[in-house]
Chain A
Amino acid sequence: MQEAMIRRAKELLADGTVNRVLGWQRGEFVYDVTPAVFASPDELDASFVYNDFCGANLSKYLVAESRKEGKVLAFLKPCDTYSLNQLTAEHRVVRENIYAIGLPCEGKADVEALKAAGAAGITGIADGGDTFTVHTLYGDQTVAKADALAERCANCKSKQCVTYDELLGENGAVQNSHRFDMVEQLENMTADERYAFWQGELSRCIRCNACRNACPACTCEKCVFDNPQSGIANTAPADSFEEKLFHIIRAFHVAGRCTDCGECSRVCPQHIPLHLLNRKFIKDINELYGPYQAGADVAARGPLTDFTFEDCEPSVVHERGVN
């Protein structure tokens, strides 16, 4: 796939369709890839990479990149195309300045999952089809790819690219995923149990803002949490309530717009399952307003911003009970 991508990128650079390429750049190891912009065939040859660890969602970079001079080629995985659609619908990107190539995706690996499987001192990772052979300082180890998948990929919602100017390979299909299973488990807890769960998770938050800064739905020019005038701008929570407040406000702000790309949980250095907050909103919206997938259709009207007579009444929360 990597060779096909580089070949196509070079063609599009050469014929003037685009003047730069948004992709991933090789790092120190196999897995530490960095989103990067490539302006020439030489740069592509030197460090362009596409492998099982290219999990970063590139769509957010298009907010800035699509406002620059000329067209940018963006390689997008199915997840990333939902984000691009949502950003297009919200007028946060200039879609005409983007040449999107949709990529097929069978899920991306999470190096932390490999490490959790016991691979310490990783020096190389060989692709063995359904398995990874992990070379480490302490010997080789074989890990099934399924065991190394990121959570969001193990519970993949869709392998379908929903917006693209061209596809490399076959388009996939929307998946019948189990992504709401954990949300259901939480819903079935008592309020006290659920509080304890979130207390345990969110108390680890170090307020690094990685979730917010990586989130393709968080594109405010100035976040309320960065604005000294807001009275809630803090680099650390002043008390244990505040750290929950940050995540809950953020979840509310992206409700109905979150495509469930899972970047928030991927980037969290403290492994807080932040995606569960967003999935709870998505599940509630599906149940209250009918099935809706943010980003699936660029022309769709968001359920929380579109009034219809069929909308549920606010009292539904009361009817559903506090649990």
Chain B
Amino acid sequence: MKSLLLKDMDRLLAALAENRTLYVPTDGAGGAEYRLYQPGTPLSEALNTNRSAKDFFFPQTENMMRFQMRGKEIRIEEPTRPDEDFVVFGVRACDARSFELLDKVFLSEPVDSYYQNRRAHGVIVTRCCGRPEETCFCTAFGIDPTAPGGDVSTWQDDQRLYLAANTPAGQALLNGVAHLLTDAPETAADDAKAKTRAALANLPIQNLPLDGFGEENLLAIFNDPRWAELSRACLGCGTCTFVCPTCQCYDIKDFDTGHGIQRFRCWDSCMYSEFTRCAHGNPRVSQVERFRQRFMHKLVYFPANNQGDFSCVGCGRCLQKCPVSLNIVKVIKALGGEKA
């Protein structure tokens, strides 16, 4: 384990930014968000960023290819892939876990080369949560914020930042800034971890009844009459999907730039009425079906296809951002638990 005096934090960030593009969470008009590091920019002390960190690997809009149309002929121009190495500093354990869940989608066969390329160029430095919020429930999904993961994990007490590499890429990153770091015993961050654990023990949302969401209950949960009531206030906006670190549905669209047809992909939301509309109709006719789809996907369908892993990391963004305060916790509490 390495350590650094907190007063040298900006020196560390500046050194990281020397060789690679560095993104850090900073406070802005819209709340905390990841921005390109600028010397002297203070790190946000907010627990989490407004938008999740999925943007780095699955951006809201991404150009895929371009077409030139000449009479009856078409020319396909393959995209230039971003090849810049980058570091994301300050990712929380929940968002770090979300990358593993996104990997299950995008890196399973056939591999999504756009995502894979971004993933290959990114190094993740995580940060142990100091003051979890009441909306946090990552522990319900087996996430330990005191072991935040990523390529490098960091912890912090009043004096120092402690760093430990988890992967070869993380080790290489620390080697590059070794001149700023001092050796610390493996137990150096224990006090910081203990403090976080004490806070976690008091979180109001814990012990969610998740055992009822097995594949064997798929039809029972799908047909539960309470979906109508749970979804009644839903406005049908896409806030929950877009701030969610694990939502990964996308649309593919064409855009005439005037110099060719740009095909891009962008986030889409199962909450939208057009999401499943096709020539012969729409299998999800009302907001009840759309709302149900989102939570069935996270709690039943995704686990059924991924060895029981839920597609939720308990980051709490949907709790904070839904305009009418609907969220996955309310759904789990209503529908979870033992099934007859």
Contacts and interface: CB of A to CB of B under 8 A. Distances in A.
Interface of A: 25, 27-29, 32-37, 56, 61, 120-123, 136-138, 200-201, 204, 206-210, 212-214, 226, 228, 233-239, 263, 266-267, 269-272
A271 B131 contact: no
B178 interface: no
B104 interface: no
Contacts of B176: none
B31 to A, nearest CB: 6
Interface in B187-225: 199, 202-205
- For the residues of A in contact with B, the DSSP-based class is loop
Given A34-B233, A209-B237, A235-B251, 18 more contacts: A25-B233, A34-B324, A56-B323, A120-B133, A121-B132, A121-B133, A137-B203, A204-B29, A207-B242, A213-B323, A233-B274, A236-B60, A238-B61, A238-B255, A239-B255, A266-B323, A270-B30, A271-B30
Contacts of A138: 131, 199
B29 A200 contact: yes
24 contacts: A25-B233, A27-B330, A28-B319, A32-B319, A120-B133, A121-B199, A122-B133, A136-B134, A137-B132, A137-B202, A138-B131, A206-B51, A226-B272, A226-B273, A226-B274, A234-B253, A235-B272, A236-B61, A236-B266, A269-B50, A269-B242, A270-B30, A270-B31, A270-B51
A266 B202 CA distance: 29
B264 A238 contact: yes
A228 B253 CA distance: 11
A138 B131 CA distance: 8
B29 A213 contact: no
Contacts of A271: 29-31, 50
A137 B135 CA distance: 11
Interface in B291-340: 319, 321, 323-327, 329-330
Which of the four size classes fits the interface of chain B?
A: 35 or more
B133 to A, nearest CB: 5
A61 B234 CA distance: 10
B326 A34 contact: yes
Contact of A36 (B29, B233, B251, B321): B233
A37 B232 contact: yes
Contacts, number: 133
B262 interface: yes
B260 interface: no
A201 B31 CA distance: 12
Contacts of A36: 232-233
Contacts of B327: 32
A121 B236 CA distance: 28
The 4 closest A-B pairs by CB, nearest first: A236-B266, A267-B323, A32-B325, A213-B235
Given A28-B319, A28-B330, A56-B324, A209 B29 contact: no
Nearest to A266: B323
A267 B235 CA distance: 11
Contacts of B255: 238-239
Nearest to B61: A236
Nearest to B326: A34
B50 A235 contact: no
A59 to B, nearest CB: 13
A137 to B, nearest CB: 5
Nearest to A61: B233
Interface string B242-265: 110000000101010000001010
B160 to A, nearest CB: 21
Looking at A37, A136, A204, the one whose CB has the most chain B CB atoms below 10 A away is: A204
Contacts of B319: 28, 32
B239 interface: yes
Contacts of A210: 235, 237-239, 323
Contacts of B51: 206, 270
B238 A208 contact: yes
Nearest to B274: A226
Contacts of A123: 134, 204
B232 A122 contact: no
A179 B65 CA distance: 47
Contact of B266 (A28, A137, A213, A235): A235
Contacts of B28: 204
A267 B78 CA distance: 39
Interface in B113-137: 131-134
